[in-house]
Chains A and B, each alone.
Chain A
Amino acid sequence: MVEEPPLIEAKDIYVGYKTYRGVMKVLNGVSFYINEGEKIGFIGEAGGGKTTLMKTILRILPPNATNVRGQVIYRGKLDLMRISEKEMKRIRRRGLSMIFQDPTSALNPVFKVGEQLMDIIKYSRLEEGIKLSKGELKEEALRLLEEVKLPDPQRVFDSYPFQLSGGMRQRVVIAMALVSARELLIADEPTTNLDVTIQDQILRLINEIVEKRKLSVILISHALGAVRKMTNRTYVLYAGDIVETAESNELFTNPLHPYTKALLEAAPKLTGEGIGKGIPGRIPDYVNPPSGCRFHPRCEYARERCKREKPPLVEVKKGHWVACWLYVKR
């Protein structure tokens, strides 16, 4: 059997942000891949660079992003970082989609939901050579709003985002993502900004859609239980570095990296509610990031070498990779 190339393979991604204090060096050489039909997860504290990584893949970084380097190989042939904007637009319209972290800021505040959704549908369908009339666009929009189980699609269609609840807004964002999700759905913390009571519903909805459409998924979440349940493989991102990756079950039962261990310990247990005790210290300042292993200022095992050299990601067990000097045999 010929091995299929991954759907997306990101290699050695660097991204910075220009700020008035200097350049924040956020992504620090990140590599990952996702195969067709696979579901992978990303976990890590707030500010670790998860959203930045996803925006890099889709090439939708904000204007102050800088020093963007690396490769994003699509199906083993196209480098999404290098193709023309026109080609990139086609790929976005046809295959890749993202559910944004905060549905409030992800919807344009001064246009009605229906209008925003119709524009998205219009250009996605145009890409397939189908020109829909206004009426057909509206029909399709209402159908999508129904698919994400919004109770009164017509009302939502005619509403401005601020007239909807957080959960409804997130469903709208999901409906938008559905327009062009044929291959990959990126769900960037789809429930973090929502009421606890509806978090489950939204996750279930995403799961349902993904199963129905046989999509590949990247799930980013602080809900570690959900990531474990819904994904095959998980990456741990800390301060712009992948520090560990393995099959999800393995990773959650047998974390190796000191950061992952702390992260899992800090997380509220599956039954418990609220926020865990947190990891002592905080994500470093990206303008002057720590030398060597970026985790060393917070790591209780840090040694001299950790401050000097960045640890490579090495395969410690089959399929279980860790970037930590503790696991580098010498």
Chain B
Amino acid sequence: MASAFSRYIIKRSAYTLFSLFGLSVLVFVLARVLPGDPARIVAGPQAPEEVVERIRQQLNLDKPIPVQYILWLKSVFHGDLGYSIYTRHSVTLDVIKYLPNSLELIIVAAIIQVVGAIILGVASGWWAYRWPDNIVRAFAYIGISVPAFVWAIILQLVFGWWLGWFPVQGMFSEGVTPPPRITGFHLLDSLITGNFVAFKDELWHIFLPALALALGPMAQDARIIRAGMVDNAGKDFIALAKSHGLPDRLIMFKYLFKPSVIPAVTVMGMDIAALLGNAFLVEIIYNWPGFSAYGIAAMLRKDLNAIVAVVLVIGVIYAVANIIVDILVAYLDPRIRYLERGE
């Protein structure tokens, strides 16, 4: 029976590959048919037409789009996403350089999001319609309606400028030596090299932007967990648990929590994947040296290979998040693990 589940995961992965392929075609074509001539941008507005034409040929932009795509795909299979027409660097290397900074921010945000959502959701659901719930619901309402970049500005103003509890921007304070690059994830690298000063310093810097990113999805996830808790609290399996005199905390954190959190896991996973998109503006507000600034620059400059790479990386992160969520849900919910879904 369990093999039915692995078949399901394999099938899901195949779908995912297929949709990533579709996504790549879409961005590839879109990036090329939208107005703006990359060759002209590279050459500069004053350059004579022959130069522009030569650049166009160098970039293969004179060939039909399907041919361009096949050439591109071939190099992708060799791990090469092409060159940025702007920085003249390999896009692959750019991704490797900038992405970990963003992932770090997102991972910290995700932890805040999930832990916060669980605490708030459980408290709110357990004390439904009482004061803890009222506070959480009010917070959730605000949390959901305020976008991440607005949180970013508010938190920066209040805790950065006014109260001065946290740094206003950047990744490390002046005078703190960043760790050497091992994994590219600075927090991890600091730990590996035993550089706790850098570790603490970065945590201190990362907190506000991560919190800004986390608040919205945290509020949404807390609401879903709360709804599950409230819904299940009225079910007979909870009445049965109570009828046997099981302790409240066992009911709350085991028998009520688990069935209530399962529906939220899917949403939480998608929210985490969406953090990368939301991170664009937040990274700029906090001057965080991440992927987003790179992505925005690529869009503005019509840096074709960079645009496609940025979109694909986001697509891959979504896909990976999806698969992780599926596995996690199946791990938590035996009904899914044992019964083949779909067919």
Q: Which of A's residues lie within 8 Å of B, judged by CB?
A: 55, 58-64, 85, 88-93, 96-98, 100-102, 105-112, 119-120, 123-124, 127, 160, 162-163, 173, 176, 179-180
Contacts and interface: CB of A to CB of B under 8 A. Distances in A.
Nearest to A98: B243
Nearest to A186: B243
B250 to A, nearest CB: 7
12 contacts: A59-B242, A60-B239, A64-B234, A92-B243, A102-B236, A110-B333, A111-B254, A120-B246, A160-B335, A162-B334, A162-B338, A162-B339
Contact of A123 (B233, B239, B246, B338): B246
Contacts of B338: 160, 162-163
Nearest to A97: B243
9 tightest CB-CB pairs across the interface, nearest first?
A62-B234, A92-B245, A93-B245, A89-B245, A60-B242, A108-B237, A105-B236, A60-B239, A106-B236
Greatest chain B CB density within 10 A among A61, A98, A110 is at A110
Contacts of A93: 244-245
A98 B254 CA distance: 21
A127 B246 CA distance: 11
Contact of B244 (A61, A109, A112, A120): A120
Greatest chain A CB density within 10 A among B230, B234, B237, B338 is at B237
A108 B241 contact: yes
B258 interface: yes
B245 A180 contact: yes
Contacts, number: 93
Contact of B258 (A100, A102, A107, A111): A111
Contacts of B236: 100-102, 105-106
Given A63-B128, A110-B333, A124 B245 contact: yes
Nearest to A122: B246
A160 B244 CA distance: 19
A55 B241 CA distance: 12
B86 interface: no
Nearest to A55: B239
A198 B230 CA distance: 34
A58 B164 CA distance: 55
A123 B333 CA distance: 25
A90 B245 contact: yes
Contact of B335 (A63, A89, A105, A162): A162
Given A108-B259, A110-B333, A111-B255, A123 B240 contact: no
B239 A109 contact: no
Contacts of A112: 334
B235 interface: yes
Interface of B: 128-129, 230, 233-237, 239-248, 250, 254-255, 258-259, 262, 332-335, 338-339
A112 B335 CA distance: 11
A128 to B, nearest CB: 12
Contacts of A180: 244-245
A63 B233 contact: yes
Contacts of A91: 245
A62 B240 contact: no
Contacts of A109: 237, 259, 334-335
B239 A160 contact: no
Contact of A63 (B234, B250, B333): B234
B142 to A, nearest CB: 24
Greatest chain A CB density within 10 A among B234, B242, B255, B333 is at B242
A278 to B, nearest CB: 26
Contacts of A100: 236, 239-240
A112 B258 CA distance: 13
Nearest to B247: A123
Contacts of A105: 235-237
Contacts of B240: 98, 100, 106-107, 173, 176
A276 to B, nearest CB: 27
B237 A123 contact: no
A104 B335 CA distance: 13
A94 to B, nearest CB: 8
Nearest to B1: A163
A211 B120 CA distance: 49
Nearest to B233: A63
Contacts of A127: 245
Contacts of A88: 245
A59 B245 CA distance: 10
B334 A110 contact: yes
A85 B262 CA distance: 29
Greatest chain A CB density within 10 A among B129, B241, B245 is at B245
Nearest to B232: A108
A224 B28 CA distance: 73
B237 A107 contact: yes
B254 to A, nearest CB: 8
Given A60-B242, A63-B129, A109-B237, 8 more contacts: A58-B243, A85-B248, A88-B245, A92-B242, A96-B243, A110-B335, A111-B255, A119-B250
B233 A62 contact: yes
Contacts of B259: 108-110
B261 to A, nearest CB: 10
